[in-house]
């Protein structure tokens, strides 16, 4: 075929495909226009997964009759006017493409009226052509009615899923827009039935509850800081995937892996592997630090200093959880432990257990918490009175609100983990008598080279030994007396980089393992002083209630529960 310029109508359909991929993209663009027009209420209605009909009505500023025809012209927008404006976009839309794209692939009616207009006007278009504008009756605001979406693009229509599946995406989309603008009243009607409503109270918690159900109301943890505002949940509320985590940057819903990890990394310390929390967080950044002009659908963005933002987000989440994660009463806890077991068994068969067995020092005898933070403050927390050790596994203690059982291994793991994480004194490195060579492939050598300083700060001293060979010269002091092939171990962890199922950061994995191997074991006899030191170090931890893998460090049997057990109530 010879090179030729495509007819305008065909070019318009191709361009439309980038913006309007499926019915939910239409809903998103129309709702964003309503939000940009300062609407206080947005009513969305869809039929047949949006393929037959999508209506979005708002009470925003409206469009005057004279401007109405412009709105379906490509690159016609009222939101930016210069290239400087692109550097700091404050509206959800700015490309002037949405209405033109939607018009090109549907039967479109737009009825609108501004406060200054005496009457409304209605624009009609079919496949982007035969555009007509007529006066009509109607309130101030805009109602966009999209029918027969993709009627003239059979390829796109074939690509759409079942109406049910498309409806699910639309629900998700409207819920996220409502989360991002809690002061706006949203309703969503599917085939004539209301399936979602957000009250417009201005509280993100209310939208979150409307979305996830009333059962979670008691489990919410609010976060309200200059950088980040929103809701988190207690770790008892968790799911098998990350879809319950909703993230916004400057009130725009974004899908940004790095930001998601900032949250899941922290929760990983509180939950079994393979489980994820619910969250809705808005990150507030200066406009010029966010580039939204990356993709026509605008959910992929670039952040100027992503690394710093991720670090700040992680530490904000961590500190709010540190304040709010409570010790669970025992009975409830046993139930959640069952789900813990089945969840971790399902998620990564044998993986966490395997790591423990593989690297446990051979023939480890009785070890004691003689290192670092455990030793530095030999007084028990004022609230807990130590009663003794149970089965050389658990510490029994009394607190004002009942009896506590503390898992000595999990508790010590938590203490050591935070010591390594925060580089507390005691978490230094100790030279090996015999340096150990590491056998690494070239890609892994590269990883090692970029992380060697970070590894050194954790206590692993490594040095190059010519020809891609490296030597392990020192290990974290917690590991020093646990004779083991730490070189082989470091290699295993680095190789995890290649595993697509592997969650997160190898450095984090190393911290876990240092903590696990450095900690006292179940079966170790502890002296009273050692127990006191352990408990007081535990109390100083940020997330004292779980070990770094999310297992509990302690459970509580309350006085009320005891009274019930003994028939005293
Ligand atoms: P963009 O949002 O990128 O500007 P659109 O194609 O979505 O492009 O919309 C084109 C223009 O139409 C907008 O800039 C705005 O001026 C006007 N508009 C569209 N929808 C609405 C609405 N619901 N209320 C008021 N004005 C609207
Ligand atoms: Mg728009």
Confirm whether 2 is domain-assigned. no
Establish whether residue 80 lines the binding site of ligand 1, counting it when its CB lies within 6 angstroms of any ligand atom: no
Q: Whose CA is nearest to atom 21 of ligand 1?
A: 33
The predicted model gives 457-481 an average pLDDT of 85
Residues 227 and 349 reside in one and the same domain? no
Same domain, 306 and 426: no
Domain end point (choices 193, 223, 242): 193
472 & 342 share domain: yes
Give the number of the atom of ligand 1 that is nearest the alpha carbon of residue 92: 2
User: By the 8 A CB rule, do 97 and 74 touch?
Assistant: yes
Q: Is residue 273 part of a domain?
A: yes
Spatial separation of the C-alpha atoms in residues 293 and 86, rounded to whole Å: 8
CB distance 269 to 302 below 8 Å: no
Ligand 1 pocket mutation, candidates 26, 60, 71, criterion most atoms within 8 A of CB: 71
- Residue appearing with tokens 């089965």: 391
The string of pLDDT tens digits covering residues 2-55 is 888 888 888 888 877 778 989 999 999 999 999 999 999 999 999 999 999 999
Does 483 map to a domain?
A: yes
Give the whole-number percent of the chain exceeding pLDDT 90. Answer: 41
Q: Is 143 or 453 the better-scoring residue by pLDDT?
A: 143
What pLDDT, in 10s, does the model give residues 291-348?
Answer: 887 777 777 788 888 888 988 999 999 989 988 887 655 544 443 444 444 443 333 3
R_g (Cα) of the chain, nearest Å: 29
Atom of ligand 1 nearest to the CA of 60: 24
CATH number for the domain that contains residue 133: 3.30.565.10
282 and 361, same structural domain? Answer: no
Q: In this structure, which residue's CA is closest to atom 16 in ligand 1?
A: 78
Mutation to probe ligand 1, out of 33, 125, 142 (largest number of atoms < 8 A from CB): 33
Residue nearest to atom 1 of ligand 1 (CA): 96
Q: Is 63 in the pocket of ligand 1 (CB under 6 A)?
A: yes
Torsion over CA: 384, 388, 393, 394 (sign): negative
Confidence (pLDDT) at 9: 81
Residues 104 and 23 in one domain: yes
CA of 56 to the centre of ligand 2 (A): 13
457 inside domain? yes
Chain position carrying tokens 């997330």: 543
Q: How far is the CA of 58 from the centre of ligand 1 (A)?
A: 12
In ligand 1, the atom with minimum distance to the C-alpha of 56 is 23
CA 278 to ligand 2 center in whole angstroms: 29
Among 297, 324, 351, the domain-final residue is: 324
| Distances, alpha carbon 95 to alpha carbons 80, 92, 171, 250, 537, in Å | 8, 10, 25, 18, 55
Same-domain pairing of 539 and 392: yes
Rounded to the nearest angstrom, the distance between the alpha carbon of 33 and the centre of ligand 1 is: 5
Question: From the CA of 24, how far away is ligand 1's center (Å)?
Answer: 17
For ligand 1, atom 25, name the residue with the nearest CA.
62
Q: Is the beta carbon of 200 within 6 A of some atom in ligand 1?
A: no
Atom of ligand 1 nearest to the CA of 95: 3
Give residue 94's pLDDT.
82
296 lines ligand 1 (CB under 6 A): no
Q: How many residues are given for the chain? A: 569
Which residue has 């191709």 as its token pair? 14
Assess contact for 241 and 484: CB atoms under 8 A: no
- Average pLDDT score, the chain: 84
pLDDT of the residue at 499: 62
- pLDDT tens-digit series, residues 237-295: 888 888 899 999 999 999 888 899 889 989 988 888 888 999 999 999 998 888 887 77
CATH code for the domain in which residue 515 is found: 3.30.1540.20
CATH of the domain at 209: 3.30.230.10
DSSP string, 218-265: GGEEEEE-SSEEEEEE-TTS-BSSGGGEEEEETTEEE--HHHHHHHHH
Is residue 152 domain-resident? yes
User: What gap in Å lies between CA 306 and CA 284, rounded to an integer?
Assistant: 13
Query: What is the reported pLDDT for 539?
Result: 85
Residue closest via CA to ligand 1's atom 20 equals 33
242, 278 Cβ separation under 8 angstroms: no
Asked whether residue 3 is domain-assigned, the answer is no
Compute the distance between CA of residue 123 and CA of residue 132 in angstroms, rounded to an integer: 6
At 389, which helix (H) or strand (E)? Answer: strand 385-390
In a domain, 181, yes or no: yes
Strand ranges, E, within 59-162: 107-113, 120-126, 129-136, 141-147
Residues having C-beta closer than 5 Å to ion ligand 2: 33, 93, 98
pLDDT at 59 over 90: yes
Domain boundary among 142, 160, 193: 193
Is the separation of the CB atoms in 309 and 283 below 8 Å? Answer: yes
Residue nearest to atom 19 of ligand 1 (CA): 33
CA distance 388 to 382: 16
Closest Cα to atom 8, ligand 1: which residue? 96
Confidence of residue 382 (pLDDT cuts 50, 70, 90): low
Q: What is the pTM of this model?
A: 0.73
Q: Same domain for 390 and 316?
A: no
Cα atoms in the Cβ-side hemisphere of radius 13 Å centred on 103: 24
Ligand nearest to the CA of 98: 1
How many domains does the chain fold into? 3
Cα(201)–Cα(120) distance, integer angstroms = 29
Q: How far is the CA of 315 from the centre of ligand 2 (A)?
A: 35
Residues 316 and 450 in one domain: no
Q: Is the pLDDT of residue 502 over 60?
A: no
CA 40 to centroid of ligand 2, rounded, Å? 17
How confident is the model at residue 478, as a pLDDT?
Answer: 78
* Residue of 124, 140, 117, 144 whose CA lies nearest to 43: 144
Q: Do the domain assignments include residue 139? A: yes
Element (H, E) at 402: strand 402-407
Q: Is 98 in the pocket of ligand 1 (CB under 6 A)?
A: yes
209 and 181 in a common domain: no
**Residues 308, 228 share a domain:** yes
Taking the centre of ligand 2 as the mean of its atom positions, its distance from the CA of residue 169, in whole angstroms, is: 19
Range of the structural domain that residue 316 is part of = 204-324
Q: Are residues 60 and 161 in the same domain?
A: yes
Asked if residue 337 and residue 309 are part of one domain, the reply reads no
Ligand nearest to the CA of 95: 1
Whole-Å CA distances, 160 to 25, 43, 102, 152, 155: 12, 24, 16, 14, 9
């Amino acid at each position: 075929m010879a090179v030729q310029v495509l007819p305008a109508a065909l070019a318009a359909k191709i361009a439309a495909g980038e913006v309007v991929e499926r019915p939910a993209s239409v809903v998103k663009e129309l709702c964003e226009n309503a939000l940009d027009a300062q609407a206080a209420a947005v009513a969305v209605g869809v039929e047949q997964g949006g393929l037959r009909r999508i209506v979005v009505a708002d009470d925003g500023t409206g469009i005057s009759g004279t401007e109405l025809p412009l709105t379906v012209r490509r690159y016609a927008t009222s939101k930016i006017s210069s290239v400087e404006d692109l550097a700091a976009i404050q509206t959800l839309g700015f490309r002037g493409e949405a209405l033109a794209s939607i018009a090109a692939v549907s039967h479109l009616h737009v009825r609108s009226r501004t406060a200054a207009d005496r009457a409304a006007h209605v624009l009609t278009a079919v496949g982007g052509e035969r555009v007509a504008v007529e006066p009509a009756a109607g309130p101030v605001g805009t109602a966009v009615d999209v029918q027969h979406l993709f009627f003239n693009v059979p390829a796109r229509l074939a690509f759409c899923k079942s109406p049910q599946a498309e409806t699910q995406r639309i629900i998700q989309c409207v819920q996220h827009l409502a989360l991002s603008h809690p002061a706006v009243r949203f309703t969503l009607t599917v085939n004539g039935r209301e399936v979602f409503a957000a009250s417009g109270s201005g509280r993100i918690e209310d939208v979150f509850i409307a979305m996830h159900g009333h059962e979670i109301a008691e489990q919410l943890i609010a976060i309200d800081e200059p950088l980040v505002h929103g809701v988190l949940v207690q770790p008892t509320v968790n799911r098998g995937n990350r879809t319950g985590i909703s993230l916004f940057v400057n009130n725009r819903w974004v899908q940004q892996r790095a930001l998601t990890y900032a949250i899941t990394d922290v929760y990983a310390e509180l939950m079994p592997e393979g489980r994820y929390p619910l969250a809705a967080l808005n990150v507030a950044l200066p406009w010029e630090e966010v580039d939204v002009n990356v993709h026509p659908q605008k959910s992929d963005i670039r952040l100027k200093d992503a690394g710093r933002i991720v670090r700040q987000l992680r530490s904000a989440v961590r500190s709010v959880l540190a304040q709010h994660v409570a010790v669970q009463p025992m009975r409830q806890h046993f139930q959640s432990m069952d789900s813990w077991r089945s969840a971790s068994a399902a998620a990564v068969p044998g993986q966490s257990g395997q790591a423990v067995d593989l690297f446990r020092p051979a023939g480890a005898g009785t070890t004691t918490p003689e290192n670092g933070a455990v030793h530095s403050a030999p007084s028990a927390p004022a609230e807990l009175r130590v009663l003794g050790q149970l089965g050389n596994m658990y510490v029994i203690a009394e607190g004002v609100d009942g009896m506590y059982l503390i898992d000595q291994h999990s508790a010590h793991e938590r203490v050591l983990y935070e010591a390594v994480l925060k580089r507390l004194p005691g978490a230094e490195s100790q030279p090996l008598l015999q340096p150990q060579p590491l056998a690494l492939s070239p890609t892994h050598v590269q990883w090692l080279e970029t992380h060697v300083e970070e590894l050194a700060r954790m206590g692993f001293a490594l040095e190059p030994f010519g020809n891609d060979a490296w030597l392990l010269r020192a290990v974290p002091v917690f590991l020093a007396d646990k004779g083991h092939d730490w070189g082989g171990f470091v290699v295993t962890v680095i190789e995890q980089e290649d595993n697509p199922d592997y969650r997160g950061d190898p450095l984090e994995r190393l911290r876990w393992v240092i903590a696990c191997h450095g900690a006292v074991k179940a079966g170790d006899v502890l002296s009273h002083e050692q127990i006191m030191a352990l408990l007081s170090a535990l109390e100083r931890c940020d997330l004292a209630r779980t070990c770094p893998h999310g297992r509990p460090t302690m459970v509580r049997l309350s006085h009320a529960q005891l009274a019930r057990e003994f028939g005293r109530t």
